[in-house]
Chains A and B, each alone.
Chain A
Amino acid sequence: MNNSEKKRMNGEAEEENEEDVEDEGRDAWERTYTDERSWEALEEDESGLLQPIDNKAIYHSQYRRRLQSLSATSAASRIQKGLIRFLCVVVDLSKAAGEMDFKPSRMAVIAKHVEAFIREFFDQNPLSQIGLVIIKDGVAQSLTELGGSPEAHIKALMVKLGCAGDSSLQNALELVHDTLHKIPSYGHREVLILYSALSTCDPGDIMETIQKCKKAKLRCSVIGLSAEMFVCKHLCQETGGSYMVALDEGHFKELLLEHAPPPPALAEFAIANLIKMGFPQRAAEGSIAICSCHREAKVGEGYICPRCKARVCELPTECRFCGLTLVSSPHLARSYHHLFPIEPFTEISARQFELSRVASKTCFSCRESLLTPGTNKAGPCAACTKCKQYFCLDCDIYIHESLHNCPGCESRRITPAAASATKS
């Protein structure tokens, strides 16, 4: 109340900073209307009464849709996923990236979410590499080289990158094509373009460049921040990538993170190869050696290349002296859940659950009650097709998105006889 009185009294003097004053003058409850659009969190039920949106059911149905689309594509390609990926992330820093429809600006939002994406990407694909490219003033430049360490890329993003000029899709594609041309044949070549502009200023025929990329087996995907463009759609269709346009910041983050897990590997895209790799032992505690990455003397922690005995500081990496790819077994193990995925659980409606007459009405893994709070009726839950145990919806999401183990199946001893019976 005091704030709005002050505003009325000082209204004339502070007219230049009208927006600022209005922000200060508004109370928190007013801000929830203007900034946060609080009415979107309500919905009407059958009789027209207002009730808050049931977020839990929405998350679960979104998750189920994701799961269905994933299992539909991967069922066709047995075990095949692009696990060794070389991804170039192209960030459009033209004038359009300075727009403020994403707060504080499109550029800042992109930088923040690309950092999170890079961490998630290396978490899920430890043997892969990322390179960053920016488009500014109609020219594409390489911000970082293709590399396997997240810190280098994140450091480059944190620098103040201004945005200016036009955007040029063709220049970006040419640069990315040259960069990805040099990688080994077993790697999957991918490009992810974060496009804010609504046009592209190209020196030549972009259709030719698109055909060049298609021939080089580059899988180009685009996430647009303004509106759908034909040239982006055409690029993605030709190269087999995905084209999505973000509606808001939350949606943008979701679309970006969808590119973190390995995409289904189309058989013709990469050549299968046996890659020679080393699994170094940790250096003895207290041993002193000059490490090959920093050229400094280091004590203790570090790894020894099994072929040339050089010392390296972290894994995964390539030995600088003999070129052997060095990894530790957990790096490979991080990707095994893509090869041995668990089946989606079947949804059980409340009525089916009551008919099943199961003894314990709690989730098998977390022991939370499956009854709707405050009533004696069963809520929706999920069941595993193999071990037939019941799980709550939250555990269903956690098990399929993070844990990748079904607790019910893992708590069962399958005899060799039974296992071979199910296999044949």
Chain B
Amino acid sequence: SFSDDVSLLVVLIDTNPFFWSTSSSSLNFHQFVSHVLVFLDLIVRLSQLNQIVVIATGHNTCDYIYDSSLDTDQVTGEGELPALYSFVLQRLEEFVNKDEKLGAKQEGLSEKRASSLLSGSLSMALCYIQRVFRSGPLHPQPRILCLQGSPDGSEQYVSIMNAIFSAQRSMVPIDCCYVGSHNSAFLQQASYITGGVYVKPQHLEGLYQYLATVFAVDLHSRSFLQLPRPAGVDFRASCFCHKTTIDMGYVCSVCLSIFCKHHDKCSTCGSVFGKAQLDAASDRKRKASES
């Protein structure tokens, strides 16, 4: 039977080649994966009942890499390294190749701020967790751990917020260990809203230490630990016209789009401000017939 310290950990690994190839940090992709693999092994050893699911967040696609509860993913074998490592490494390599092939037809992409498809892997993780909830009253406590380095993609804002609110309703914490250069505002908000932990390690050479001390412990036991506290989560909005952060602005009452200065018409929904829409529509018709 399940006691309250059994975890289901869904790990989202950022494999975005645009980030890893331009990253100037002391950690390259292979070192990163080796830290993560030792961490996954730690989770498995902490309790026999712990489950791990690994989903890769690529640049052009997302996919499942490993599911410890699947018969097809059972790993056994002798060797210098645990069988888990070679299994996951091989699957990751297949994924990275597939991701690259899918992008071969695209050109003219600005490589500087190329984001990954975080909203895709988050959505898949949440659907998997819903399936676990449906399976019956006895199940491990699920949580999501994002290992992300790519910058936020502003085109994914609405999808990521949808995923965050759905996670909050299902009471699934979203943790994040961010290995990129500047903090991710999306993931900071995700951890804050869902009750997860956000960490941006200062010394990436010791990544495993951060993972083991902060994210290995089950949810129930977190109350006994001093975990990193959220520092200055930025909840300011960005205006729809310039994408600059503003702390005071104008909001359209019909579609809730945010603008930094007063306009006569909303560019998102077309509402004319200050007039009842029916009057505005008949005004336009009248003007068209008059001219």
Give A contacts to B, CB under 8 Å: 78-80, 83-84, 123, 127, 186-187, 265, 267-268, 270-282, 284-285, 306-307, 324, 328-330, 332-337, 339-340, 363-368, 394-395, 398-399, 402-407, 410-413, 415
Contacts and interface: CB of A to CB of B under 8 A. Distances in A.
A368 B67 CA distance: 12
B71 to A, nearest CB: 12
B249 A337 contact: no
Contact of A267 (B59, B165, B247, B276): B276
A405 B159 contact: yes
A413 B102 contact: yes
A252 B62 CA distance: 41
B263 interface: yes
Contacts of A278: 247-248
15 contacts: A83-B253, A187-B253, A272-B266, A274-B250, A275-B251, A277-B251, A281-B236, A329-B235, A330-B189, A336-B162, A337-B158, A365-B127, A398-B127, A399-B127, A410-B119
Contacts of B229: 285
Interface of B: 59-64, 67, 102-103, 106, 109, 117, 119-121, 123-124, 126-128, 130-131, 134, 156-159, 161-166, 169-170, 189, 193, 229, 231-238, 246-256, 258-259, 262-263, 266, 268-269, 271-278, 281
A329 B120 contact: no
A366 B259 contact: no
A186 B253 contact: yes
A-side interface mostly: loop
A271 B277 CA distance: 7
A273 to B, nearest CB: 5
Given A275-B252, A367-B128, A411-B123, 12 more contacts: A272-B271, A272-B274, A275-B253, A281-B236, A330-B235, A394-B131, A398-B130, A399-B127, A410-B123, A411-B61, A413-B106, A415-B106
Contacts of B62: 410-411
- The residue among B62, B253, B269 with the most chain A CB atoms within 10 A of its own CB is B253
Nearest to B169: A402
B247 A279 contact: yes
B-side interface mostly: mixed
B193 A271 contact: no
Nearest to A397: B130
A80 B235 contact: no
Given A410-B159, A413-B102, A279 B236 contact: yes
Contacts of B161: 330, 333-334, 336
A147 B62 CA distance: 43
A126 to B, nearest CB: 10
Contacts of B134: 394
Contact of B130 (A83, A394, A415): A394
Contacts of A186: 253
Contact of A340 (B123, B158, B169, B247): B158
A282 B235 contact: yes
Contacts of A282: 232-233, 235
Contacts of B128: 365-367
A399 B263 CA distance: 35
A275 B165 contact: no
B269 A78 contact: yes
7 cross-chain pairs, A with B, having the tightest CB-CB distances, nearest first: A411-B120, A365-B127, A186-B253, A267-B277, A272-B271, A410-B120, A328-B235
A116 B34 CA distance: 47
